[in-house]
C-alpha cells in the first residue's frame, strides 16, 4: 500500500479507526480486524482514550502484541472520560499520556493528538507539556483534532518546542467544510498532514445504504440513537447520496472507491482513517483505493459542492 508522511512518520494511505474496539467489538473480534488490517498493508492505527470507555486502547495493545514496533499507533486525549478526566491542562496531558501508555502496553505513542480544543488552557501551556513528553521519548509526534485555521495559527505562533504535524477533522464527499473554512489549504501550505474522520459519512458512502430503503441491520446508522441518525439521514444528505450512487453506476466505479480515492486525491490528506467491524470490511476498504482520472475528480467536486 502507498505510504504517506505525517511529520517524521510514514503511514499507510488507508488507516484503521479503532473506535469500534471495546464498544461494538470484543477482544477476539478486535484481533481478527487488526490481523486483517496488517495483512492488507495497513500500518496506521488510530484510537483514543475515550473510545470504548478506554477499552479500545487495551484491546488494540493486546491485538498488536509483538507487531507493535512495526506499526504506527495514534491516540488522543482531552475528551471527557468522566467529570474529572478531560481537557488540555499540562498536568492532565501528562497523566492522560501515562494512562494511555499503560493501556496500550507500549513505551511510546507515535502520534499523540489533542482530541478537542480546550479554551480554558493557553495552547502554549498544552504544547509545553506535549514537548516534555516528546523529549522524554513517550511521544514521537503530536497532532490535533477539530481545530480551526485560527487555532492552528495560534498554536504555530506560540513558538513552542514542538508543533502539530497533523489535524484530524471531519471531511468526506458529503462534508466539505475543511475546504470552505480554509483548513485544508492551511495544512497544505504549512505541511500539516490532514486526517479525515467520518470519510464514509457513517456508512452513507459504502454503497450499503440506499436512500428511501430501510437501513441494513447491524450498520452503524441502524444502531445509532434516532436523535443522532436523523442528522445523517437528512434530506440533504440523502439527495447527495442518491446523486453519487447514480454517478457511480454510470461510470461503473463503486461509491466506496469514489469516497476513498477522492479524499486521497487531495494533496494535504496523509491517510484516510476508516473504522471496520469485520475483516471483510477491512479488505473492502483497502481494495477500494485507486487513482481516479481528473475528469472523475472534477465531476465529484461538482456533484457534491
**Domain boundaries, given as residue ranges, for the chain:** 3-207+255-292
Residues near 18 by beta carbon (within 8 Å), at least 6 away in sequence: 45, 46, 47, 48, 51, 56, 59, 60, 275
Q: Summarize pLDDT for 123-149 with one digit per residue, the tens.
A: 999 999 999 999 999 999 999 999 999
Q: What CA dihedral angle connects 145, 150, 152 and 157, to 10 degrees?
A: -150
Amino acid 159: pLDDT? 85
State the catalytic residue, choosing from 51, 86, 171, 198. 51
Q: Summarize pLDDT for 230-239 with one digit per residue, the tens.
A: 888 888 889 9
Q: How confident is the model at residue 117 (pLDDT cuts 50, 70, 90)?
A: very high
Amino acid 284: pLDDT? 95
Say if residue 220's pLDDT is above 80.
no
Q: How confident is the model at residue 260 (pLDDT cuts 50, 70, 90)?
A: very high
Amino acid 219: pLDDT? 74
How far is 135 from 79, CA to CA, in rounded Å?
Answer: 24
CA-CA distances (angstroms) from residue 29 to 34, 70, 182, 241?
A: 9, 21, 39, 30
Q: Summarize pLDDT for 34-53 with one digit per residue, the tens.
A: 999 999 999 999 999 999 99
Mean pLDDT of 243-254: 97
- Strand 9-12 versus strand 3-6 pairing type: antiparallel
Query: What CATH code would you report for 3-207+255-292?
Result: 3.20.20.100
Please confirm, yes or no, whether 92 is among the known catalytic residues.
Answer: no
Mean pLDDT of 157-184: 96
Residues near 242 by beta carbon (within 8 Å), at least 6 away in sequence: 211
Per-chain mean pLDDT for the chain: 95
Amino acid at each position: 500500500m502507498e505510504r504517506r508522511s505525517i511529520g517524521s512518520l510514514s503511514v499507510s494511505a488507508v488507516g484503521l479507526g479503532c473506535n469500534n474496539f471495546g464498544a461494538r467489538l470484543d477482544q477476539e473480534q478486535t484481533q481478527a480486524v487488526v490481523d486483517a488490517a496488517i495483512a492488507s498493508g495497513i500500518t496506521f492505527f488510530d484510537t483514543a482514550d475515550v473510545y470504548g470507555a478506554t477499552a479500545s486502547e487495551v484491546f488494540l495493545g493486546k491485538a498488536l502484541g509483538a507487531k507493535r514496533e512495526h506499526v504506527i499507533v495514534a491516540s488522543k486525549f482531552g475528551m471527557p472520560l468522566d467529570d474529572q478526566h478531560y481537557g488540555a491542562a499540562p498536568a492532565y496531558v501528562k497523566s492522560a499520556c501515562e494512562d494511555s501508555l499503560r493501556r496500550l502496553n507500549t513505551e511510546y505513542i507515535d502520534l499523540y493528538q489533542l482530541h478537542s480544543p480546550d479554551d480554558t488552557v493557553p495552547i502554549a501551556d498544552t504544547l509545553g507539556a506535549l514537548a516534555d513528553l516528546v523529549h522524554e521519548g513517550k511521544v514521537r509526534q503530536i497532532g490535533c483534532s477539530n481545530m480551526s485555521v485560527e487555532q492552528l495559527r495560534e498554536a504555530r505562533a506560540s513558538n513552542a518546542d514542538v508543533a502539530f504535524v497533523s489535524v484530524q477533522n471531519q471531511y468526506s464527499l458529503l462534508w466539505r467544510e475543511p475546504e470552505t473554512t480554509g483548513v485544508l489549504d492551511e495544512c497544505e501550505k504549512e505541511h500539516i498532514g490532514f486526517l479525515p474522520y467520518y470519510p464514509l459519512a457513517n456508512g452513507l458512502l459504502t454503497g450499503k445504504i440506499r436512500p428511501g430503503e430501510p437501513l441494513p441491520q447491524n450498520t452503524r446508522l441502524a444502531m445509532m440513537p434516532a436523535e443522532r441518525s436523523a442528522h445523517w439521514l437528512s434530506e440533504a444528505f440523502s439527495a447527495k447520496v442518491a446523486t453519487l450512487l447514480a454517478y457511480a453506476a454510470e461510470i461503473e466505479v463503486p461509491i466506496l472507491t469514489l469516497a476513498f480515492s477522492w479524499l486521497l486525491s487531495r494533496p494535504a490528506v496523509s491517510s484516510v482513517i476508516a473504522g471496520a467491524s469485520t475483516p471483510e470490511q477491512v479488505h473492502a476498504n483497502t481494495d477500494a483505493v485507486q487513482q481516479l482520472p481528473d475528469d472523475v475528480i472534477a465531476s465529484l467536486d461538482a456533484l457534491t459542492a
